[in-house]
Amino acid sequence: MNKKLIALRDGFLRPGKSFIEGDIFVKLSALFMGAGYFRRKQFIKGLLITIFQLVVIFFAYTVAVPYLSKITTLGTVQRESVFNFETMKNEENDYDHSFKILLYGIICIVILTAAVIIYFTNLVRVRNLQLLAEKGKHINNIIEDIRAYKNDKFHMTLLFFPILGILLFTIIPLLVMISVAFTNYDQNHMPPTSLFTWVGVENFKNMFTNSVTISFGYAFKKVLGWTLVWAFFATFTNYIGGILLAMFINNRKTKFQKVWRMLFVVAIAVPQFVSLLLVRNFFADTGIVNTICSNIGLTHILQNIGLVSENITYIPFLTNPGWAKFMIILINMWVGIPYLMLIATGVLMNIPMDIRESARIDGANGFQEFTRITMPYMLFVTGPFLVTQFVGNINNFNVVYLLTQDVYVTLDQALANSRAKEIDLLISWLFRLTNEYYNYKMASVIGIMVFIICAIFTLIAFNSMIRGNKEENFQV
């Protein structure tokens, strides 16, 4: 067994050991959490922990038990209401609200888990106090204890609020959302009026089923494929484009550098939301770009070489699967390259000049300098950024949704039957399922899939690309 495991095992055994080895007051602390502190004259601490114990017990009986007792069924009593003509109000029965049961149930579990952890660590603490007292060492009073949180234990003080925040706003919602994937929460089971309940892995089975009526399996494969293709191209076109643009602007021969840089920054200054919706109108089937293309004869040329079907009179920029995918990546370059240009400008300025100069003395040309010095350096510095960009692009909702919503209609009937479109990313499919069809359970399943995919890519990328200390060998 390795050391970490042994330490872990000891950690779990310590409360028990403390209890067995402790004196009567330590043993009593298992019942009254404050007992050990009172014995060592830490009265305020003892009082606080006693209050804590009472609050937890009160909470358990009034809140936790009612919710947790229903969490296995998520409620059984459906809402009924009768209108009372006297009071002009509805009289309702005491109905169950499945979602609240799920939500509060999970919150209760988290709180009770925390309480149990505190309970066991408390045993260790009072045992330590006993040991200190037996050795005749100094026992802190309350003021000294508080002071410790400003000095020795300052890291705990600082971390307390962030950890609480993550627990409240990340962990608990995440647990609730994951749970929804195992229920039948959809438009036929919408609280508060209807109840929903656990269905096990039924939804996951549906996600990978491909029949005429349930075509999620087919749709998932297609959407996932495009999501990955999109994430790859969106990340690397922007990355390469941004670096090249930064190099062109920073080139010594380029005049008015600041003007160029500002022009591209202006593209960032306009909110994406606005520019994307405008661009969607520009590229509509009857939009301005199509009018221009048709006037200069481009539409005709494209028809002749077979890129545009013969029986339409416009270029289907955002209405044909192939064209739309191409346009989405292209428009994303226009939106994203200026950002990358700014980042790349900063990094490029940091490349040590001596490396470049020695390369030039050795007779390297511009291209060699780019492939042997600039790119390795960029990749080394911006590696983590690339990974987050890739994962971010898997979830890049804006570009795809804003460009195609209300415009793009899929011609694939199997996709249509599961509400997906060829140009959908997992995230926009998920959005449509919840927002238009209230299919929370399937959306939740997709959410879990997205999480797994992102986690896998992040782990692989961070492990292989950025492992350890590669500072010395970036110029491979």
Can you give the binding site for another protein, defined by CB under 8 A? 79, 81, 83, 85, 87-90, 150, 154, 157-158, 160-162, 164-165, 168-169, 186-188, 190, 192-194, 206, 212-214, 284-286, 309, 311-312, 406, 409-417, 419, 435-439, 442
Backbone angles phi, psi at 81, to 5 degrees: -140, 145
Query: How many Cβ atoms are within 10 Å of 223's Cβ, its own excluded?
Result: 26
CB of 464 to another protein, least distance (A): 33
Q: Which C-beta is closer to another protein: that of 81 or that of 475?
A: 81
Residue 200 falls in which region: left (phi positive, over 0), alpha (psi -120 to 50) or beta: left
Nearest approach in angstroms of CB 384 to another protein is 23
Q: Among residues 254 and 309, whose Cβ is nearest to another protein? A: 309
Q: State the nearest-atom distance from the C-beta of 169 to another protein, in Å.
A: 6
Considering the complex, what minimum distance in angstroms separates the CB of residue 187 from another protein?
6
81: tokens are: 């209401």
Cα(236)–Cα(390) distance, integer angstroms: 9
Would you say 391 and 268 are in contact if contact means Cβ atoms under 8 Å apart? Answer: no
CB of 371 to another protein, least distance (A): 43
Q: Using N-to-C axis directions, what is the helix angle for 43-59 and 98-134, rounded to 10°?
A: 160
Nearer to another protein, 187 or 304 (CB): 187
Return the SS3 of 337: helix
CB of 173 to another protein, least distance (A): 9
Q: 66 or 173: whose CB is closer to another protein?
A: 173
Least Cβ distance, residue 311 to another protein (angstroms):
5
Nearer to another protein by Cβ, of 53 and 186: the residue is: 186
Helices (H), 85-215: 98-134, 142-148, 154-166, 172-180, 202-207
Compute the least distance from the CB of residue 411 to another protein, in Å.
5
213 vs 350, beta carbon nearer another protein? 213
Counting other chains too, the contacts that 410-418 makes at CB distance below 8 Å and 24 or more residues apart are 410/321, 411/321, 412/222, 414/215, 414/218, 414/219, 415/215, 415/218, 415/219, 415/222, 417/212, 417/213, 417/215, 418/214, 418/215, 418/216, 418/218, 418/219
d(CA 118, CA 418): 47
Return the number of the residue (165 or 346) whose C-beta is nearest another protein: 165
Residues 67 and 108: beta-carbon distance below 8 Å:
yes
In the chain, the amino acid numbered 350 is N
Distance CA(377)–CA(350), nearest Å, equals 9
Shortest distance (Å) from residue 306 CB to another protein: 13
For another protein, give the closer residue by CB, 67 or 408: 408
| Structure token digits, residue 406 | 């209300």
Amino acid sitting at position 92: E
Cβ nearer to another protein, comparing 208 with 248: 208
